[in-house]
Structure 1
């Protein structure tokens, strides 16, 4: 059940954030933020530990603190599509971090 909720959040949250923060360009923003889910491609290159808690943070290269910090920095750049991508990436990491406590 957790996996279904987790994947659903990765789809619903970017669309909701696009609607809230980029209402005039919400469809474009939603597509860019959904594309931010491609950051999970790093899961293909690393074997994560299999345990009762599937925490992606610090388990995969693009889910470590340096890349996450750089993703957060995208929020402050002036080009709107880059900010949209930053919102999507930060939301993605927050959703993944929420899964670490379960």
Structure 2
């Protein structure tokens, strides 16, 4: 079971750090470094975890629990993504946030499988 948790952790952090780099490179190639930097900066959305008690609970799903991971917040990220001009900072920020939420959702699903 510990090995499965290790796999889950590897997938989670790979999707948080490496996959955004691939997305930036393949979809925003002329300015992929800027895009990847913005995607990485959207990790700051996890600051909302500091308001939780305990701050880190490996069995807690972030989606729907933390304020910046709420369904309302995700809806706002989607609206900004749809309205922002492609390649602008707002477009990249909202895409990064949506991908972050997808990654956290997948982690929740894997967590329920690997328990």
Question: TM exceeds 0.5?
Answer: yes
Q: What pairs up with 1:5-44 in 2 under 5 angstroms?
A: 5-44=11-50
> How does the TM-score come out when normalised to structure 2?
0.79
Runs of 4+ in 1 over 4 A off after TM superposition: 48-51
Report SS of the residue matched to 1:56: coil
> How does the TM-score come out when normalised to structure 1?
0.88
8 Å CA contact 1:57, 1:64 repeated in 2: yes
2:95 corresponding residue in structure 1: 87
Q: How far apart are 1:45 and its partner, in Å?
A: 0.7
1:68-92 Cα shifts (integer Å, max 9, x gaps): 1111122121271110111110000
2:70 corresponding residue in structure 1: 64
- The structure with the larger Rg is 2
Tell me, which stretches of 5 or more residues in structure 1 are unaligned? none
C-alpha separation between the residues in 2 aligned to 1:54 and 1:11? 21
**RMSD value, Cα:** 1.8
